[in-house]
Structure 1
Amino acid sequence: MNQKIRIRTFGMIAEEIGQSELVLDQLDSTELLKEYLFGQFPKLQSMKFSIAINQQLAQGDEKIPEGAEIALLPPFSGG
């Protein structure tokens, strides 16, 4: 059986996708995740956002562990 990952979206990203949560088949890395998202939601390519894996910000292309919770975080304003 395929593992699933849960992706929570916030702010303008949730507005663009039209939902606050996606459940996808397991993807191996943040780079593959971005490729998938950009294919499904082309406008995301022009948006800045961070990816968090299990509440830790990903730096560059990182492996996504099985069953991970992913968050797509828009830029935060303020200091």
Structure 2
Amino acid sequence: MQLLFFGSLSEIAGAAGRADLVADTDALKEKLQRQYPLLKDLKYAVAVDKKIIHSNTVLHDGCTVALLPPYSGG
């Protein structure tokens, strides 16, 4: 599984990396928060294979997960 971090999240965890496959996005968040404790206090969106998800999602081998900080635009 490939991990991508953007914005302030990349300052904490680096821009990209690989992780062992976990069952779902909730398990991934827990794992990342143990590895990078500063993530616990931040709000961010999660995208799986370029689609922002809004609930726990099953992960599959070879997927790409991106963590995106809050953004605004106009």
Q: TM-score range by the shorter chain?
A: over 0.9
CA shift at 1:16, angstroms? 1.2
After TM superposition, the score normalised by the length of structure 2 is: 0.94
How far apart, in 1, do the equivalents of 2:37 and 2:4 lie?
A: 18
Query: What stretches of structure 2 of length at least 5 have no aligned partner?
Result: none
Query: Residue 52 of structure 2 aligns with which residue?
Result: 57
Among candidates 3, 14, 18, match of residue 10 of structure 2: 14
Runs of 4+ residues over 3 Å off in structure 1: none
CA distance in 1, matches of 2:45, 2:52: 7
Instruction: Map 1:1-79; keep pairs closer than 5 Å.
Output: 5-17=1-13, 19-79=14-74
Identity fraction in percent = 31
CA displacement at 1:66 relative to structure 2: 1.5
1:23-43 deviations in whole A, cap 9, x for unaligned? 011111000000001000111
**TM-score, normalised via structure 1 length:** 0.88
**CA-atom RMSD, angstroms?**
0.8
3-state DSSP class of the match of 1:66? Answer: coil
Gapped regions of structure 1 (runs ≥ 5): none
